[in-house]
Amino acid sequence: QLQLQESGPGLVKPSETLSLTCTVSGDSIIRSSYYWGWIRQPPGKGLEWIASVFYSGNTYYNPSLKSRVTISVDTSNNQFSLRLSSVTAADTAVYYCARRTDTNTFDSWGQGTLVTVSS
Partner 1 sequence: NFMLTQPHSVSESPGKTVTISCTRSSGSIASNYVHWYQQRPSSSPSIVIYEDNQRPSGVSDRFSGSIDSSSNSASLTISGLKTEDEADYFCQSYDNTNMIFGGGTKLTVL
19: left (phi over 0), alpha (psi -120 to 50) or beta: beta
Binding string, residues 76-115; x marks residues near partner 1 by CB under 8 A: --------------------x---xx-xxxxx-xxxx---
Q: How far is CA 64 from the centre of its chain?
A: 15
- Contact between 2 and partner 1 by CB under 8 A: the answer reads no
Among 21, 27, 48, 70, binds partner 1 (CB under 8 A): 48
DSSP string, 81-104: EEEE-S--GGG-EEEEEEEE-TTS
- Residues forming the site for partner 1 (CB under 8 A): 37, 39, 46-49, 52, 60, 62-63, 96, 100-101, 103-107, 109-112
